A and B are shown apart, each in its own frame.
Chain A
Amino acid sequence: MQHGKYRFITGFLAAPLALYVLFVIWPFIQSIFYSFTDWSGLSPEFKMVGFDNFTKMFQDDVFWKSLQHSLMFVVLLPLGTLSLALFFAFMLNVGGRHRKNAAISGVRGSAFYKVVYFFPQVLSIAIVALLFQFAYNPNSGAINSGLQAVGLGSVQPDWLGDPDLALWCVFAVLVWCTVGFFVVLFSAGMASIPKDYYEAALLDGANRITTFFKITLPLLWDTVQSGWAYMGILALGAESFAVVQIMTVGPNGGGPDYSTTVLPLYVYQKAFRDGQAAYATTIGVALLIVTLLFVAVVMRMGRRERLEY
């Protein structure tokens, strides 16, 4: 039977593990190795160059800009999205009119709001990015002509063409597509908080704002924390890559004047546009370090006593 067990384990693990190691783990290890070489990616030859790529990276202005934008995303995006989502979820669950025997009540139609808010979550980020690229078009886009229609014809920003605004345009799109998911997630969490807690707080004369900070938020903290990690990884990963690459100006995005470039995009451009594969993996290693630091910070920040209810 022991023998059968091990044969079974091997049989079941072999295929998934082989596929995973070949396509995910092995490339990761390789790319860390390549960051110490001068490999171009175009030919198989390369030689070891030690830390040359890292020295080059520290003197590369575009790298610093990308890092700065990525760091901004990783701090502000979770902050913006999660606070908006918490606000909406609280309104949905607690913002309703006082009914006679309920201490708190949700607004009417909260089910409808949740369905609508979730729409962007099921759409591809690529489709969303394309859509907003048209909306932001300065001459005939939906936003500027909308501004004209309400009498703000003098306010016609260049949106994605303006180096000071472009990054915020990207930011807004990322917030737009992620808020709904967290509204639904937090609503589910809030619905499971016992109503007695709210009743007790209201009896003690607490208003809604105190109730939110003293009851809702602490009891929801675990969910907020995992949401924070999720948003940060998203802000450093494929989503920010897709939005910037599709929406912003310049060959393969990142413009104008590198004002929107982010680390994953810069890795992509160096490897597949400029033929500097080794240097691209160096930037990728920097991105890996930023990601791991972020995860460590979130885990530490959230370590507080778990509340059972």
Chain B
Amino acid sequence: MKTTDIPPADAAEQRPAVTKTNSGPVPPAKSSEGRTLNVFSHGMLILWAFMVVLPLLWAVMTSFKDDKSIFSSPWALPDTLHFENWSRAWTEAHMSDYFLNTLIVVGCSLIGTMLLGSMAAYVLARFEFVGNRFIYFLFIGGMSFPIILALVPLFYVMQNMALLNTLPGLILVYIAYSLPFTVFFMTSFFRTLPSSVAEAAFVDGASHTRTFFQIMLPMAKPGLISITIFNFLGQWNQYMLPTVLNNEPENKVLTQGLVQLAVSQGYKGDWSGLFAGLVMAMLPVLGAYVVFQRQVVAGLTAGALK
């Protein structure tokens, strides 16, 4: 709608009054305030955008340089694009192995988390039974406890079960530590779904299990997508759990592999390879984010907006 200074004669009584006051006797002060604010806010916003992007661009640039120029002139553009840094990182620095381990661990634990988490959440959201509240608070209590406290005994629990330093062990731990938020989020989601559909299915003779898998889960799809993205990023980027519980060199995941790589550069000196590794680990996630922006933002902010 376009509003001019001369309102149409038949416009509502209120509307012109508003416009008039806005651009009436005070316009010079208002608009100059608006202009300075506009310049100022743009300035600050650009500055922060710059501060976010610059370190990332710097990393990409550095990954194409040779070791000498990384140290002699950190801000200079690479003389030629040293693609060999990337292939060296992929093979010699075992980035390919780290990628594969991360894919296996995150893939399996994501499926496990979603399945177990939504099963528990469904039961807690839709069924009355003794202990329901207790179990619910047991789950969501895990969100605010410091994880490191549990990791000390967990290390020995896993050692006794022969799960320490193995991928299956890490998968189970990822699932267990993703459950609190998943259960919290999915419980409130299942509560918002209408119960009439499920009741109708039940009357038609579907079992509880069938009602859950064929009717309730498909209805909960938007919630499932959000929480899957949330868990994916959390598990893909996880650092503390594998650092404590998974120290077998060939089982390392991406984050610990990179840190390991950085530590070993103290005597190996392959810094360009390390930067290539860092960028290699960064780009897929950033790329996926740019493509699926809307879903990613919805997924990550879902919990906080509840």
Contacts and interface: CB of A to CB of B under 8 A. Distances in A.
Interface string A201-245: 011000110000000000000010011011001001110011001
A119 B236 contact: no
A19 B305 contact: no
B80 interface: no
A98 B35 CA distance: 8
Nearest to B289: A122
Given A17-B135, A31-B152, A119-B53, A6 B74 contact: no
Nearest to A121: B300
A19 B45 contact: no
Interface stretch (A20-28, A49-57, A153-161): A20-28
Contacts of B208: 4-5, 8
A91 to B, nearest CB: 4
Contact of A122 (B127, B138, B177, B285): B285
B154 A23 contact: yes
Given A5-B127, A31-B150, A123 B286 contact: yes
B244 A268 contact: yes
A18 B256 CA distance: 28
A117 B58 contact: no
A203 B21 contact: yes
B122 A281 contact: no
Interface in A1-53: 4-6, 8-9, 11-13, 15-17, 19-20, 22-28, 30-31, 34, 41
B91 interface: no
Contacts of B151: 27, 268, 271
- Taking chain A's interface residues, is the majority helix, strand, or loop, or is none over half, making it mixed? helix
B221 interface: no
Contacts of A277: 152, 156
A31 B146 contact: no
Contacts of A241: 148, 240
Interface in B62-79: 62, 70-75
A72 B285 CA distance: 32
Contacts of A127: 237, 255, 258, 278, 281-282
Nearest to B160: A44
Contacts of A130: 258-259, 262, 278
Contacts of A64: none
Given A19-B175, A24-B176, A122-B296, A101 B73 contact: no
A167 interface: no
B240 A22 contact: no
Given A123-B282, A140-B70, A185-B304, A264 B148 contact: yes
B179 interface: yes
Contact of A15 (B119, B154, B255, B281): B119
Best-surrounded residue of A27, A208, A268 (most CB of chain B within 10 A): A27
Interface in B216-266: 233, 236-240, 243-244, 254-256, 258-259, 262
A62 interface: no
A288 interface: yes
Nearest to A100: B3
B197 interface: no
A131 B41 contact: no
A107 B157 CA distance: 54
Nearest to A141: B74
Contact of B116 (A5, A16, A246): A16
A88 B45 contact: yes
A188 interface: yes
Contacts of A199: 18
Nearest to A208: B37
A103 to B, nearest CB: 7
25 contacts: A16-B117, A19-B179, A24-B150, A24-B179, A24-B180, A30-B153, A34-B153, A88-B48, A101-B3, A107-B38, A116-B53, A118-B289, A118-B297, A122-B285, A122-B296, A124-B236, A126-B237, A131-B59, A145-B74, A179-B48, A185-B301, A241-B240, A271-B152, A284-B152, A291-B146
Interface of B: 1-3, 18-19, 21-23, 30-31, 33-35, 37-38, 40-42, 44-45, 48-49, 51-53, 55-56, 58-59, 62, 70-75, 116-117, 119-120, 122-124, 127, 129, 135, 138-139, 142-157, 172-173, 175-177, 179-180, 183, 207-209, 212, 233, 236-240, 243-244, 254-256, 258-259, 262, 275, 278, 281-282, 285-286, 288-290, 293, 296-297, 300-301, 304-305
